[in-house]
Structure 1
Amino acid sequence: MTRILVATSIIFTALSTLVRADIPTGSNGFTFVWGDDFNGGPNTAVDSNNWQFDLGTGYPGGAANWGTGEFETTTNDIENCYQDGNGNLRIVPLRDSSGGWTSARIESVRDDFKAPLGGVMAIEAKIQLPNVAGDAAAGYFPAFWMLGTPFRNNYKNWPEVGEFDIMENVNGINKVFGTLHCGNSPGKLLFNRTFGNEQLHKANS
């Protein structure tokens, strides 16, 4: 069986103590095919050969507020998304003097990831979430996910294009969620996981 590995490392919001998130090079029979360890200098932009920004409040012609009801404006400003010089990417939400929010959404330029015929594909990321809770966490929605390639430049064919929500966290609660979306909306909840608990809780199997 052929196995391929896609890997990266991301930090959501600014934190004081970080561990360098080097990407794996392949193990357990997997062959590494693509990744980004964000090893640029301090306060530098992501590699435009690997990443592109989603800007504004929705895809052109797509659902408003990115289809999730979020109200920030996403930008390509260095303050919202930058490499920190220690092998990490930081995605930072910011509030301006008028109360408006900005953040960043990036997606890979490459769009041909798939398991080889008769094989499997693994997608890995090392992600540190915001250390916030209670009222201060209201509105946080960090996520790591993949969409089917036909969604790009169409934006109206969800969910039949397929979506892997690999990690989502809402309002700073002590859980992460994974969901598969396919021909039916809203999708199937695969698991929720409490931080610090190695048990994987399956739901709606």
Structure 2
Amino acid sequence: MQRKKIQGFTFVELIVVVAVAAILMGTAVPSFTSLMNSNRLATQANDLLGAIMIARSEAIRLNRRVILCSSDDGVNCATATSRWNGWLVFADNDRDDVPDSGEVLRTGTISPATVMVQGSSRISGQGNRIRMGADGLVRAATGSSAALLQARLSVCIVGTAPQQNTREIRIGAGGQAQIVAVDNSGTCPVPSNA
């Protein structure tokens, strides 16, 4: 009877395979984190841009003021003027700046908790509200003769993965909005108005 020689990896071969796997993981994990954070930023920025466009189109369609505001519960506008936890769009039928029964058109949440949404001083100074007039223009305050709003919403993740860790939604005079990627060196400052 002949004995078969058992074939397998030597200890040195096993160490080499583990070292190669560790190098591959070391380069893949940071890239994956950057990709995930970039997708989170894009998703939240696109949701907010969509909410602005819905508010604008509904204001024109309904021929009345429609408001996008920060909301913690999806039913009421938040009273705090800091970080947004969610948002809602409502038709302000009675022009009291408060969403009443039957006025809420859309809601959304800001998730995950690592994503920070903040309004520039012109938005936070109005109780984190963006008001669309019946003409589809974004106003800086209440009243039909109010000036047009130019402001920004920032969607940010603290850290440098990705390098451009902020997406700013820039609202131009008249209500046109666009998303711009910004490098804030890993921080999340309150955005400027223009």
> TM-score with structure 2 length normalisation?
0.31
> TM-score with structure 1 length normalisation?
0.29
Which structure: greater strand fraction? 1
Which structure: greater helix fraction? 2
